[in-house]
Structure 1
Amino acid sequence: MSTSFFIVNIKNIRYPRFFTVFWYSASRLASIIYNSFYIYFDYIYYFSELNTPVRGTLLMDSPRSIPSKIIILYAIVSSLWIFFSDSILGLLITDLRTLSRIAMIKGWLFVLVTSILLFFLIRRYVTQLNAYNANMLESERRFRELMERVHMIAIMLDTDAKIIFCNDFLLQLTGWSREEVIGKNWFDTFIPEDLRPDIKDIFYQGISNGEIVAHYENGILTRNGSVCMIVWDNTLLRDAAGNVVGVAGLGLNVTEHRSLEAQLLQSQKMESIGTLAGGVAHDFNNILTVIMSCAAMLRLKPDDHERARQLINLIESSSQRAANLTRSLLAFSRKQQILPRQFDLNTVISSMHDFLERIIGEDVTLTVELCGDELPVLADKGQIEQVVMNIAGNARDAMPEGGVLNIKTGIMQFDRQMLAEGVMISGKYVFLKITDSGTGIAPHEQERIYEPFYTTKEVGKGTGLGLSMAHGIVRQHNGWITLESEVGKGTSFIIYLPLAGQVEDSLVEEEEPDYGDGTILLVEDDEQVLTANQLVLESGGYHVISASDPSEALEIYRQHTDVVDLAVIDVIMPGMNGKQLYNELKTLKPAIQVLFVSGYTADTLDRKNLPPGCAFLQKPHSPQQFLRLVQELLRKQT
């Protein structure tokens, strides 16, 4: 310890008594404070160096806040003690030598007392700090033990995404060793390359914004290159000042769970296909019954022309029902491209009146309230008709004892209205409201009413696709459907479609095409369809060269390149599809014109981007549609 007192020759002092006492006391106070706190802080610093594991991690209410209190308290008590005690001694004792000795004893006594006090304060501080460090170390030990025992991935990353901690579960799952991953970049080591950019963006945005995505799922790479699906729960790591220093994450391995989910979905899919097959078989069997019965009766009495006309009409309407069914199935599977044309919705509903009456039966009364104005919409007419038929069919089933089916049309204006899907809509919309007086739909069923394969009907009486198809078709036309229903009072489906401009084309009966001429190469792998189409073309005045195989068609075209005016090609054929055959024919004659025909194009042909000089005809089609399109293509040559 440095010198704490000043030795003074009292006899040589010639200054006033008060100044001498003040100078002596102040000097002694400064020396005592300096030396005492030098020892104190030196000890505290030394102790802190021995406890480096917890340095910089103490909270604001930890023992490091004690020194400031000691300084203030020590300075106040010391000042009061020295000045007041020296002043009182100066008044009571006149002998300077005696005063000096007593002051020296008092000073040493003060040092002794304060040293004892400082000792106990330091020991208290050390005890608290040791306890705090022990708790921190114990907490860290428990944390590490928990992270190693839990069957989850535990990782800690710094702000550069370097791995600063990982548990054994991650290492066992991925096949890496701890030395190989600690300090390495998490994304470069564990994240698949196709996912890396997006997950990196999420990580660094969370670091910069102070808000990390708490829950998400992604795959991680193992050492052998396989991918494990992990569900993560993340949190930010912060220092004592609240700054982000990294990210901690817990990951649950759901690879097996996702595999079981896929198996379950496949099982449900097969079950749904069985349900679908039963419903479709039911509908097609009804259609086939009509067609086969009418054909048999035509054969028995071919000379009864009036009766034959009725039977032919029944065959034609049944065939149209089959076409609508297959078109709806393709629309449901999203393999059917819509063909939008502008038409008046009122006209379509009027033309469907008689057909709808046959669908709903005699015990259900059909009423129609059409808007007085034209209702132009840009849509696929066949698809919209299918929506109306599906909803009308459901309405019929909801009224087993009869009732009323009302169809109403009109126009509504929307001003920035939010739909349930979160889409904002504005402007004028045509609405089509179909209301029945049936049993109604329970609230818990309304939530699932548009789900595929969901039905409340008995097995074989419904596929559960009607409303799902209707919903998909309307959404595909930039519209939406709302439902209003109350059990025991009936149901209303309201369809909204964007209002188009003036009606461009009216719905007119198909006219017979003009008689044509020319040579047509007809390629079709189905023998019955090939025969039917050949008869139709020959009835239109055309010379037909037919082929049931693409290779055969290619050979025929090589021999008759200069004679063939048009090729009619089926799109889906074995060995070589229609698009490939077109490319082969084009090498022989670049200006060849082709009419592609198919009931299902899959991904073989893009109907919206056909090659120049080509057209597409959807199966099934009427002879008039077929001949008219052939005629249009041949006219373009001239």
Structure 2
Amino acid sequence: MTFRLTRDDRIIAVKIVAVYSLFGGLWIYLSDSILGLLVQNPDTMTRIATFKGFLFIATTAALLYYLIGRYIYRLGESNRQIAASEEDLRSLLELMPVGVAWSDQTGAIKYINHTFTENFGYTISEIPTIDEWFAKAYPDPDYRNEVVAMWSDHIAKYVTNGTPVPPLNVKVTCGDDTVRHIVINTQPSLTRTLVIFTDITDHESQQEELIKKQKLESIGVLAGGIAHDFNNILTAILGNISFAGLFIKPDHKAAVPLLQAEKAAKRAAELAHQLLTFAKGGQPVTSSIAPLQLVEESLALVLHGSNAQSRLDVSEKLHNIEADAGQISQAFNNLIINAIQAMPGGGTITIRAANATIEENNPYELQPGAYVRFVFTDEGCGIPAINLKNIFDPYFTTKSGGSGLGLASVQSIIKKHGGYIGVRSTVGRGTTFELLLPACIESVPDEIPNPAQTRVNSVDSKPGTPVLVMDDEEMILELVEAMLEELGYKATICKNGEEAVSLYKSAFERGTPYSIVIMDLTIPGGLGGKEAAAQILAIDSNACLIVSSGYSNDPIISDFRHFGFAAAAIKPYSVSEISDVLSRLLGSQRHS
């Protein structure tokens, strides 16, 4: 039988042997010498020698008992201390916020802590060996082979060269089939291998959300600029199409193509409006809104002509919401459109609305307070799990001909309102969207304000009514000038705010001020509509000003009266739309 002793164990063994040998040697030498001097009779000598032998055995046995017992006692104390230390270590490991496991030299897993079981859903009986752990944690054979090969290679280098085992980033499949992103740190030793599992899934999710937010902000800047320029171009296209329609009869061969072209231009304008949802500066201008009215209007608009039905489940005394009516309507419209597209064979869209109170440290990451919860549920085909995490990404779509902006716009709108949107879906059963929007508790009127589009009876203009138009786009100036001249107005055009202020001041001092001034909001490198309006109103507090912009989401457009404007003309606009705005304002002036 072979065995290995540690240095301390060898020292103890040598001490015992040395003491035993010294005592035995002295006993034999001294006892024989003394007896030889004192006893001469051989029989007596024999009997004394026999007695001496028994005494030697008894004495050495007692000595060995003492020495070995002392060693065993110290060994037991050491083992007890080791056991206590190991128990303390286990107690400490149980409290650690990371998963910890160790295995022996045969690959048997000897310990896993509570966090390991909690994070991954496996008990030690389910993964008794490293091979069993690999099979469950990495069910895909190719991925498992890749991970095992890297890990084994690192262990081999440690054994051969003492090279520290580097951390390993892996995707671990848990007992409930969820996948966690884990960093594995391994520390081998002579008798066991210690592995620490750090779960960075939440951190990675936060990083992904941060990157996604930064991407959305970048897209927002780009989208805002593109949409603004796009709307300017569309103004020329839509305006000229509608302007051309004035010169042909309804039964003319060109009437239908012109009408279709006008519809296409308006559809392009809707796409530009969705792009503007991402633009910086497109923050909602909120007021207290009755949500039920918004939901009913969206259902009436979107469900018209479809084979889908709706069911409303709204709580009594539903709070108003603090929202931008136009943007929230767009969000509701997109969700309902999405539901209809998911049910090509028909079905029911269920919309529930109820008051909700959100507490501190909530899972929605919302400020605590009063909210209104909306739940949109369809009976459609559902969304596969692989696509579910991407549905709010701009330009992500699985639909033929889809723009990929619908749900991205919804998320952007809800976030800008300080709300929350979440989704859950089951393939073959349907999809549910949950929205939370800040509530407005005060008692307010239920009507949705729409100051920009208040309708009054159309009033024909007097021939030659002077109108000043300011815009930096030459093609828009020429188009609007031609439109106004055809409608009977006398148009004066200019390219920036400085010119507009100068022209208005001169006309005012002559006693012939312009009846209406149409001003573009944004003039690159020049005085824009907001600043020019302030200067004109300083000259004539009764000036009638219209703000015009391709930035339909600009707060000045939504709250134009606050900045001194009488109306807003959102680009792109047709000849009939600009005519209606002018007629309303002139009619208001005459009635006043």
Please give the TM-score of this superposition, normalised by the length of structure 2.
Answer: 0.47
Please give the TM-score of this superposition, normalised by the length of structure 1.
Answer: 0.44
Structure showing greater Rg: 1
Whose RCO is larger (CA < 8 A, sep 6+)? 2
